[in-house]
Amino acid sequence: MLKPTIHRFFNALTFYTRVPGPNWVEYSADNLNRASGFFPFMGYLVAIWCYAVYSLCATYLPADISLLISMVAGILFTGAFHEDGFADLCDGFGGGYDQVSILRIMKDSRLGTYGVSGLLLILLLKWNSLTHIPTETLFLSLLIAHSLSRAWAISLIMVLPYVQQDEMSKAKPIAKQWFTQDMLLAWLFALLPLLFIPMLTTALLLGVGLGIFFLTARWYQHRLQGYTGDALGASQQIHEVMIYLFILAATQF
């Protein structure tokens, strides 16, 4: 039981981040499918890394510059995995008129006007939100945002079918099946940081997240008739920014 879990963990680590795994790990489509339970845990690692970089930089630099550097560090840590998906989705949904044209645009390695605009705006929104979150709640905010957003994103595979792209697609392999125990593990990781905030705030945050989850699921079903890896990455980015904005709004009261 422990050995398969270790293999799945390292499949998640090497797939969702740029951290290399040991050579003895079995990297396979089956292990990748079962690795989805560790997706929010990868969010822990990203949050810890980003906060560590921020803390180091903040010793010598202004907070806003330090946050920007920490965002760069986070992108390097994940290889812009989710940002790439968001940009591709913006290009596809902006320039495509049906499923075929949307998928054709999304698999194109070139970035268009919609993708550049969307990526720039979401990164600016993310950075500006983080600069206004109180320093004493920054680490917990990062922990919640990076883990919970990944739980919402991976949960889309429970309600939508996978949209098969052709062999020439630039898309990476993704989880195409889900298992109850893996989803329970994913949500366990996602909910743990919420124990450190008031129960009412948790309920409101989950309620807003659930609303966005169903809106994006309906949107993907309407435009794509399902989900792709880019759609999951875009969903993670949307939920992450939503969480920052929610936390920022909550701190005003």
pLDDT at 171: 47
Rounded percentage of the chain residues whose pLDDT exceeds 90: 82
Grade residue 1 by pLDDT with cuts at 50, 70 and 90.
low
Higher-pLDDT residue of 99, 108: 99
pLDDT at 173: 52
In angstroms, what CA-CA distances link 247 with 44, 49, 127, 202, 252? 18, 20, 14, 10, 9
Report angle CA 36, 28, 163 to the nearest 5 degrees. Answer: 60
pLDDT at 170: 47
Higher-pLDDT residue of 246, 1: 246
Q: What is the pLDDT of residues 30-40, one digit of tens each?
A: 888 889 999 99
pLDDT at 168 over 60: no
Q: Is 22 left (phi over 0), alpha (psi -120 to 50) or beta?
A: beta
Query: Which residue's structure tokens are 């905010």?
Result: 141
Q: What is the mean pLDDT of residues 21-27?
A: 89
**DSSP states of 128-188:** HHHHHS-GGGHHHHHHHHHHHHHHHHHHHHHHS-B----TT--PPP------HHHHHHHHH
pLDDT at 195: 97
Q: What is the pLDDT of residues 127-156, one digit of tens each?
A: 999 999 999 999 999 999 999 999 999 999
Q: Tell me which range, 161-165, 178-182, 183-187, is most confidently predicted by mean pLDDT.
A: 183-187
Higher-pLDDT residue of 108, 59: 59
Higher-pLDDT residue of 218, 27: 218
Q: What is the pLDDT of residues 107-126, one digit of tens each?
A: 888 899 999 999 999 999 99
Grade residue 223 by pLDDT with cuts at 50, 70 and 90.
very high
| β-strand partners of 227 | 162
- Average pLDDT over the chain reads 93
- How far apart (Å, rounded) are the C-alpha atoms in residues 68 and 123? 10
